[in-house]
């Protein structure tokens, strides 16, 4: 018997991942502005971009942790829902686990 190793797609995971990717795009845009600044960019604006990037990275990391937590939760549900294997009297017995 082959057990399914991939998690089923769900709407919450898709939503969380879309929010994370939007945050990641903001992070890349801000980092790009810092890596290739305009020559006319005032120092105060450059320092504000650094602060913004720090806040965006923290937000992005939080969103990735939310995606990971949801993934772990779904993985646990799937693990509990799969058939478990028990060895009884040298026979392998499959039985459905209750969720």
User: What are the pLDDT digits (tens) for 20-68?
Assistant: 999 999 999 999 999 998 889 899 999 999 999 999 999 999 999 999 9
Domain boundaries, the chain: 11-96
pLDDT, tens digit (0-9, with 9 covering 90-100), for 71-88: 888 888 887 765 444 444
- Helix (H/G/I), strand (E/B), else coil: 85: strand
**How open is the CA angle 26-31-36, to the nearest 5 degrees?**
130
Tokens found for residue 75: 């993985």
**CA 87 – CA 33 distance, rounded (Å):** 61
The pTM (predicted TM-score) of the whole model is 0.65
**CA 90 – CA 87 distance, rounded (Å):** 6
């Amino acid at each position: 018997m082959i057990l399914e190793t991939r998690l089923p797609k769900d709407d919450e995971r898709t939503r969380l991942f879309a929010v994370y990717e939007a945050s990641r795009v903001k992070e890349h845009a801000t980092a790009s502005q810092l890596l290739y600044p305009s020559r006319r960019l005032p120092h105060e604006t450059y320092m504000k971009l650094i602060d913004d990037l720090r806040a965006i990275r923290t937000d992005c990391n939080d969103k990735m942790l939310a995606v990971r937590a949801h993934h772990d939760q779904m993985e646990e549900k799937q693990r509990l829902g799969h058939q478990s294997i028990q060895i009884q009297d040298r026979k392998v017995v499959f039985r459905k686990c209750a969720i």
